[in-house]
Amino acid sequence: MRFIDEYRDAGRARQCADAIVQRATRPWTIMEICGGQTHAIVKFGLDELLPASLTLVHGPGCPVCVTPLELIDKAIAIAQQPGVIFCSFGDMLRVPGSARDLLSAKAAGSDVRIVYSPLDAVALAQAHPERAVVFFAVGFETTAPANALAVHQARRLGLRNFSLLVSHVLVPPAMEALLGSPHNRVQGFLAAGHVCVVMGTREYEPIAARHRIPIVVTGFEPLDILQGIHRCVSLLEAGAVGVENHYARAVRPEGNPSAQALLREVFTVVDRKWRGIGVIPASGFALRGPYADFDAERRFGVAAHQVDESAECISGLVLQGRRTPHECPAFGTRCTPDHPLGATMVSSEGACAAYYRYRRGRPPGPGLRASNPASPSEPESPPAAAPPANPEPGQS
């Protein structure tokens, strides 16, 4: 299949869904990791084609959504400083901090600019040597190489007025954290193909072996996802574990060695706080060695800033697959794209944004099954939801 329409062929999708119905003989719970996969599932109604015994839950694979509240506050604090040009992809501008967002800071006079590549920010630093140019480096392993290349190039060019505000997070430690949770009910994963384009599939093999689960790497179109679900169900039914690559048109087991080498040169692995989830050990990148001088947190003195999450927003439970957006009391009322309580209602990859855009006003039904009720030990906090962002460039 060479063209996008072929990956969205309704007849083939129905055939694949029917095959899943025939294959699934027991209840299974599968989590898709990537927010792009979540949006495809909700937009095309893929979960509504599946048997009632098969539950899809949405994972934390939206980097905008898991960027911690204090990072947004730090971004705003830096953007408000005189002489700063603060650069970001468009989907970060509406993400709420503790009091406001970057778009509000821009409206108030801060020089906040949407760029389409971190190299655009490097070019701005070259063009404006009298200004401090900061790029908001958010994303999973997918976008990390481009950000690493930007700071590598800035160092080579001697651009002392360029820096990165880094909020890179890593997928495998998040999977480990979810599987180790006492609330975990995930029995198989659909892994994000674009992350594996960079990192390969081998780092998932120890996770599959340790937790005795299948992990299927797949793409983002309807047929990609349905075929990945079929294979994951087949492995679960057979009691098989391991990692299978069903995105072979883009993913190789070894990934992209050149990109990985650049990541090792520029970044070091650190503990990272995930919004709504908490600190996950060894789950993020920070600038290392000579590149640490390009760390905007250190350069602008905002590293120590900490802030508590909103008690009303349940986006953390949504990101862990323990709730669906429809289970949030604020969804579509107190939390909308225009007035979001949490990042999952703002990001173009957020689960709440997907439900608001494609399923607002629809009660849970087949394929929209509510998640398991909270256990008595699990606090039931009021909710938040997330809206679809404008079609600006984003990060995964």
Closest of 298, 335, 32 to residue 165, by C-alpha: 298
> Residues of the chain with pLDDT > 90: what percent?
71
Q: Which helix (H) or strand (E) holds 12?
A: helix 10-23
Whether 10 shows a pLDDT value over 50: the answer reads: yes
Residue 117: predicted pLDDT = 97
**Mean pLDDT score of the chain:** 89
Whole-angstrom distance, CA of residue 83 vs CA of residue 308: 29
Q: Which of 3-7, 47-51, 344-348 is the most confident on average?
A: 47-51
User: Dihedrals φ, ψ of 148, to 5°?
Assistant: -65, -40
Whole-angstrom distance, CA of residue 95 vs CA of residue 293: 27
Residue 368: predicted pLDDT = 38
Q: Would you say residue 225 lies in a domain?
A: yes
Residue 361: predicted pLDDT = 64
Residue 394: predicted pLDDT = 47
Q: Which helix (H) or strand (E) holds 319?
A: helix 315-319
Extract the runs of DSSP E, i.e. beta strands, from the chain. 28-34, 54-61, 84-88, 111-114, 132-139, 162-169, 188-192, 214-218, 242-245, 267-274, 278-287
Angle between the 257-266 and 144-157 helix axes, to the nearest 10 degrees? 60
Residue 363: predicted pLDDT = 55
Binned at pLDDT 50, 70 and 90, residue 63 comes out as confident
Whether 95 shows a pLDDT value over 80: the answer reads: yes
Whether 88 shows a pLDDT value over 50: the answer reads: yes
Residue 396: predicted pLDDT = 52
Average pLDDT value for residue range 124-128: 98
Task: Identify the weakest region by mean pLDDT among 7-11, 153-157, 213-217.
Answer: 7-11
Q: Would you say residue 293 lies in a domain?
A: no
CA atoms within 13 A on the CB side of 176: 16
Q: Would you say residue 42 lies in a domain?
A: yes
Whether 374 shows a pLDDT value over 70: the answer reads: no
pLDDT digits (tens, 9 = 90+) for 147-163: 999 999 999 999 999 99
Q: Would you say residue 240 lies in a domain?
A: yes
Whether 323 shows a pLDDT value over 70: the answer reads: yes
pLDDT digits (tens, 9 = 90+) for 266-319: 999 999 999 878 899 999 999 999 999 999 999 999 977 777 777 788 888 888
Q: Would you say residue 231 lies in a domain?
A: yes
Retrieve residue 45's tokens.
Answer: 């109604």
Angle between the 351-359 and 35-44 helix axes, to the nearest 10 degrees? 10
Average pLDDT value for residue range 181-194: 95
C-alpha of 303 from chain center: 23
Whether 360 shows a pLDDT value over 90: the answer reads: no
Average pLDDT value for residue range 9-31: 95
Asked if residue 143 lies in contact with residue 89, where contact means CB atoms within 8 angstroms, the answer is no
Whether 382 shows a pLDDT value over 60: the answer reads: no
112 C-beta neighbours (distance < 10 Å), count: 26
Binned at pLDDT 50, 70 and 90, residue 98 comes out as confident
Q: Would you say residue 339 lies in a domain?
A: no
Retrieve residue 341's tokens.
Answer: 């309580």
Measured CA distances, 180 to 161, 162, 186 (Å): 42, 39, 10
Retrieve residue 133's tokens.
Answer: 């140019």
Whole-angstrom distance, CA of residue 150 vs CA of residue 164: 9
Closest of 121, 265, 145, 229 to residue 194, by C-alpha: 145
Average pLDDT value for residue range 66-76: 93
Instruction: Count how many domains the chain has.
Output: 1
pLDDT digits (tens, 9 = 90+) for 134-147: 999 999 999 999 99
Q: Would you say residue 146 lies in a domain?
A: no
* Residues sharing a CB contact under 8 Å with residue 22, sequence separation 6 or more, in sequence order: none
Domain with 21, as residue range(s), is 4-64+172-245
Q: Would you say residue 119 lies in a domain?
A: no
Asked if residue 132 lies in contact with residue 242, where contact means CB atoms within 8 angstroms, the answer is no
CA atoms within 13 A on the CB side of 355: 30
Whole-angstrom distance, CA of residue 251 vs CA of residue 259: 14
Whether 250 shows a pLDDT value over 90: the answer reads: yes
Give SS3 for 180: coil
Residue with tokens 């949405």: 58
Give SS3 for 193: helix
Q: Write down the pTM of the prediction.
A: 0.86
Whether 377 shows a pLDDT value over 90: the answer reads: no
Closest of 184, 245, 193 to residue 212, by C-alpha: 184
Residue 295 pairs with which residues in a beta bridge? Answer: 164
CATH code, domain with 221: 3.40.50.11750
Whole-angstrom distance, CA of residue 189 vs CA of residue 175: 9
Residue 322: predicted pLDDT = 87
Measured CA distances, 367 to 212, 315, 321, 370 (Å): 26, 20, 15, 9
Q: Which helix (H) or strand (E) holds 232?
A: helix 222-238
C-alpha of 160 from chain center: 31
Residue 389: predicted pLDDT = 34
